[in-house]
Chain A
Amino acid sequence: MNLPSEHLLYLAAGLFALGVLGFVVRRNVIVVLMSIELMLNAANLTFLAGSRLHSTPGSPDVTGPVFAVFVIVIAAVEAAVGLALIIALYRLKHTVASDSLSEMKG
């Protein structure tokens, strides 16, 4: 395994950018939710890369993986809440397009 840690960071940045792009351009709320998952996983990858950078032989740095586990839990919860919201939204509006949600327009 001599994959440099920077490559992991590049990959994470790419995934995050993809997530942001998806979040911003797509109107379908389900896809938006998926984009959020993508960004969260990019963040996880960054944590792991950081952990790898800080580890020395014989003393692994565990902060990064621990955070990643937390993030996965949060992501699961967020997905559950998000999907429930989407179902409620569909029942209300018969659509899952994000631009139908403009009641709070200033």
Chain B
Amino acid sequence: MEHPFWLWWIPLLPLLGSLLCGILHYLSLRARRSDPAAAGLAQLAGLVGVAAVGLSLCLVLRAFLVLRGLPAEERLLESPAWDWIRVGGLEVALSLLMDPLASTMTLVVCGVGFLIHVYSTGYMKGDPGYAKFFAFLNLFVFAMLMLVLSSNLLGLFIGWEGVGLCSYLLIGFWYQKGWPAEAGQKAFVMNRIGDACFLVGSFLLVRLFGTLDLSDIGAMVQGLFAGPRDHRLELALAALLLFGGCCGKSAQIPLFTWLPDAMAGPTPVSALIHAATMVTAGVYLVVRLNPLFAASPSVLALISTAGALTALIGASTALVQRDIKKVLAYSTVSQLGYMFLGLGAGAFGAAIFHLVTHAFFKGLLFLAAGSVIHGMHDEQDMHRMGGLRQHMPRTYVTFLAGAAALSGLPLMSGYFSKDEILAHTFASGGYYQLLWVVGIGAAAMTAFYTWRMVALTFLGPERFDHHHVHPHESPANMTVPLVILALLSVGGGLLGLAPVVGELIHLPHLMAAWLAPVVEPGERVLALAHGPQAQVGHGLEWVLLGLGAVIALFFAQRGLRAYLRGTQPDQRLAQARPALFGFLSEAWRIDSGYQSGVVLPTRLLAFVTAVVVDQFAIDGLVNGCASLARAVGQRTRRMADGDLRNYALWIGAGAVLLSFLWMWR
């Protein structure tokens, strides 16, 4: 194994960039106070931010090339370890680990991140917090890279919390408006619930294995499986708790409600953090610890169930949203659900494949939506768009590419990744086939809402006010990233062609081959736990692929046709079935359920505690002591009447009393 120190530069460069941007922000604030024209300093921050991530991307590419040059089973780079904590039997070394999984993730983070940084230089132009934005964005990239590259759970947790912090900062970036700040808090608090689970899960792992090193844990789980079958319950509990952390970070049931609200942040943030990278951290964690999760079949089933339900809820909610970013947010929730559905079925490689293609096409869709919002002067309501095809041709074409990939039209990237997950789920048999039906249903809805979005935004009559809104195409630094992402969304499927299709053009499943060393231990444990995995036969695979294609095409066409002439289908549904419409548009009322089931009781408890316990009992006790002392003082001050003889009398009486007490003792 090699020990290249330069791995540290991958996360450190964005950190340096973040510091520099922060300094630039400070300087520009000071300059602005004395000289209003001195905004040039802040403009420099865009360059710094882009350069930091760009250099990181170069290093990541170098690491990828080095890894590719090694034989498959030796693909592991570890930076020199720094002994960080050594307490009793627990040793934590802070070191970075680059293996095929980490390399895939870093390529996505830095690659998509770089494009989004470039895009942001256009999108955030003129914003008073321009430099601050890049400082936060670079800090996020640093935290995300730490999360992905850390060789142990503690370092991963640092990154995990770091991305949460940056998410909070960036959701509330326009905190002056009020509601973004609240959305940021909501995201932070919901994530805290998951993080608590994560922490307890890590404690449990320390207790079980005495180490936090990710590869050691994987090896020890395999060792446990080879030996006598004890510790099964603790393993399952640890996996469950870690999955709880994933639920928070990756917006799964029951903690997904923060993600739609997170759309309050600037659109590049939604693209980078809440679609492409941070929300996939949970998927990464499960794949990273795949032997641990594979060791607990019941937890796997639970993960799949949560994933399938999340996919269904997200997709059905996206059907009736009016806000273009909300559609994409619920779509992200539902696509993350697919990834967890795949993870639960043991398709770790397929989940990462979907993660990658999703980063391409959802990042693209968010950026394109941002371009629309930018061109429409901050309008997000699709009911007040329409006909933008003529005004924003480049955005339109790239959006089409993203939509095709998201809805899983044949041969697009999303088609292969989603169908691989669904095929694995189907092949797992039994209960999983029920989940497969749910997944297919959600896929149909996905195709429908995606093309509804396309029709409402870009086609049909123009419904905006021509006097106030003059839609225009975005500048080149916004459209070029769109074009690159569009190419990736269309061609990303080549990374992981379904075997039957791959055989036709002699291209193997690149992703599966690349990730094989990482997911292989988990698959071995799975095979030990419930026998060899069922393989999808050729005929069945063709049927599943064909079914996916037919469903996607059919429902995409339905969605496009229905909304081509305007927004009437929405209004008809809202009038004919107001209950259903409300139920769907409020995400199955889960948020309001939390409001009445958790938030209100907590508030009530807080009120009771404040009024009854604090103000009445505790304050009463304190004030009571004071009034008692005062009352006694009022009564006894009469004794001190200034007459020496009375004092003497009291002293005498006291002396007599004391002597009597002493005598009768």
- Chain A residues close to B by CB (< 8 Å): 20, 23-25, 27, 32, 98-99, 101-106
* B665 close to A (CB within 8 Å): no
* Docked-complex contact B640 and A106, CB < 8 angstroms: yes
Per-position 1/0 for B621-647, Cβ under 8 A of A: 000000000000000011111111100
- Return chain B residues, CB-CB under 8 Å to A102: 641-643
Q: Is the C-beta of B85 less than 8 angstroms from some C-beta in chain A?
A: no
B40 contacts partner chain A, Cβ-Cβ < 8 Å: no
> Are A106 and B637 touching (Cβ within 8 A)?
yes
How many A-B contacts if CB must be within 8 Å? 33
Complex Cα distance A105/B639, Å? Answer: 9
Interface contact A104-B645, CB-CB below 8 Å: no
| Docked-complex contact B637 and A23, CB < 8 angstroms | no
Q: A20-B652, A24-B649 are in contact. Are A99 and B639 (CB under 8 A)?
A: no
- Contacts of B1 on A, CB cut-off 8 Å? none
Task: Pull 15 A–B residue pairs with CB atoms less than 8 Å apart, ordered by A.
Answer: A20-B652, A23-B645, A23-B648, A24-B645, A98-B643, A99-B643, A99-B645, A101-B642, A102-B641, A102-B642, A102-B643, A105-B642, A106-B637, A106-B638, A106-B641
Q: Which residue of A lies closest to B652 (CB)?
A: A20
- Chain A residues, CB < 8 A from B649: 24
- CB of A98 within 8 A of CB of B652, answer no
B640 touches A101 (CB 8 A): no
Q: Which residues of B contact A20 (CB under 8 A)?
A: 652
**Which of chain B's residues 310-340 have a Cβ closer than 8 Å to chain A?**
none
Report Cα–Cα, A104/B642, bound state, in Å: 5
Q: Are A105 and B645 in contact (CB under 8 A)?
A: no
Tell me, rounded to whole Å, the shortest Cβ–Cβ distance linking A39 to chain B: 10
Contact status of A105 and B644, CB under 8 A, knowing A20-B652, A24-B649: no
Complex Cα spacing A24 to B650, Å: 10
- CA A23 – CA B648 in complex, angstroms? 8
CA distance A23 to B643 in the complex (A): 12
Q: Which 7 A-B pairs have the closest CB atoms?
A: A102-B642, A105-B642, A106-B640, A106-B637, A98-B644, A24-B645, A23-B648
| Chain A residues closer than 8 Å to B645, beta-carbon distance | 23-25, 27, 98-99
Q: From B643, which residue of chain A is reached at the shortest CB distance?
A: A99
State in angstroms the CA–CA spacing of A101 and B644 once bound together: 7
Distance between Cα atoms of A20 and B642 in the complex (Å): 19
Q: Name which residue of chain B comes closest to A103, CB basis.
A: B642
Q: For the A-B complex with A24-B648, A98-B644, A102-B641 known, give 13 more contacts whose Cβ atoms are closer than 8 Å.
A: A20-B652, A24-B645, A25-B645, A27-B645, A32-B644, A98-B645, A99-B643, A99-B644, A102-B642, A102-B643, A103-B642, A105-B640, A106-B640
Alpha-carbon distance A19/B644, docked complex (angstroms): 15
Q: Report Cα–Cα, A14/B83, bound state, in Å.
A: 89
Residues of chain A within 8 A (CB-CB) of B652 are 20, 24
CA distance A101 to B638 in the complex (A): 16
- CB of A103, distance to nearest CB on chain B (Å): 7
Bound-complex Cα distance A77 to B642 (A)? 26
Contacts of B639 in A (CB 8 A): 106
- The count of residues in chain B whose C-beta lies closer than 8 Å to any C-beta of chain A is 12
Indicate the member of B638, B639, B641, B648 with the most A CB atoms within 10 Å.
Answer: B648
CB distance from A38 to the nearest CB of B (A): 14
Q: Chain A residues with Cβ under 8 A from B638's Cβ?
A: 106
Q: How far is the CB of B230 from chain A (nearest CB, A)?
A: 77
A105 contacts B641, C-beta separation under 8 Å: yes
Q: Of all chain A residues, which has the CB nearest B644?
A: A98
CA distance A99 to B640 in the complex (A): 13
* Residue numbers in B under 8 Å from A23 (CB-CB): 645, 648
When chains A and B are docked, how far (Å) is the Cα of A99 from the Cα of B648?
13
Smallest distance from the beta carbon of B242 to chain A beta carbons, Å? 70
A32 to B647 Cα, complex, angstroms: 13
**Smallest Cβ distance from B130 to chain A, in angstroms?**
71
A77 to B637, CA, bound (A): 33
**B637 contacts across to A, CB distance below 8 A:** 106
Cα of A106 to Cα of B632 in the assembled complex, Å? 13
Contact status B640-A104, CB under 8 Å: yes
Interface residue ranges of B43-80 to A (CB < 8 Å): none
What's the nearest-Cβ distance from chain A to residue B277, in Å?
75
CA distance A27 to B645 in the complex (A): 8
For the complex, what is the distance from the CA of A103 to the CA of B648, rounded to whole Å? 16
Chain B residues with CB under 8 A of A106: 637-642
Candidate in A23, A27, A101, A103 with the most chain B CB atoms within 10 angstroms = A23
Cα distance, A101 to B177, chains bound together (Å): 72
A11 CB to closest chain B CB, in angstroms? 20
Chain B 334-355, CB-CB to A under 8 Å as 1, else 0, gives 0000000000000000000000
Complex Cα–Cα for A105 and B642 (A): 4
Q: Which partner residue on chain B sits nearest A98 by CB separation? A: B644
Which A residue's beta carbon lies closest to that of B641?
A105
Closest to A104 in B: B642
In the assembled complex, the Cα of A83 lies from the Cα of B643 at a distance in Å of 20
Q: Which residues does chain A contribute within 8 Å of B644, judged by CB atoms?
A: 32, 98-99, 101
Residues of chain A within 8 A (CB-CB) of B641 are: 102, 105-106
Nearest B-chain residue to A102, judged by Cβ: B642
State the CA gap A79–B642 with chains docked (Å): 23
Complex Cα–Cα for A104 and B644 (A): 10
Q: Which residue of A lies closest to B648 (CB)?
A: A23
Chain B: CB-nearest residue to A29: B644
> A27 CA to B644 CA in the complex, in Å?
9
Bound state CA distance, A27 and B648, in angstroms?
12
Cα distance A101–B639 when bound, in Å?
15
Shortest Cβ distance from A20 into B: residue: B652
Which residues of chain B come closer than 8 Å to A101, judged between CB atoms? 642, 644
Nearest CB in chain B to that of A105: its residue: B642
CA of A98 to CA of B641 in the docked complex: distance in angstroms?
A: 13
Interchain nearest-CB distance for A55 vs B (Å)? 24
* Residues of chain B lying within 8 A (CB to CB) of residue A103: 642
Q: Which residue of A lies closest to B633 (CB)?
A: A106
Task: A27 to B646: give the CA distance in the assembly, Å.
Answer: 11
B643 proximity list for chain A (CB < 8 A):
98-99, 102
Q: Return chain B residues, CB-CB under 8 Å to A27.
A: 645
CA distance A20 to B656 in the complex (A): 12
- The answer for the CA separation of A105 and B648 in the assembled complex, in Å, is 14
- Per the bound structure, the CA–CA distance linking A47 and B639 in Å amounts to 34
Q: Within the complex, what minimum Cβ distance (angstroms) separates A19 from chain B?
A: 11
Query: How far is A5 from B624 in the complex, measured between Cα atoms in Å?
Result: 56
Q: Which residues of A contact B642 (CB under 8 A)?
A: 101-106
A98-B646 Cα distance, complex, nearest whole Å: 11
Shortest beta-carbon distance from B638 to chain A in Å: 7
Q: How far is the CB of A62 from chain B (nearest CB, A)?
A: 25
**For B640, what are the chain A residues with a Cβ–Cβ distance below 8 Å?**
104-106
B523 to chain A, nearest CB (A): 89
Bound complex: CA A57 to CA B29 (Å): 104
CA A23 to CA B647, docked complex, whole Å: 11
Closest to B649 in A: A24
Which residues of the partner chain B approach A32 to less than 8 Å between Cβ atoms?
Answer: 644
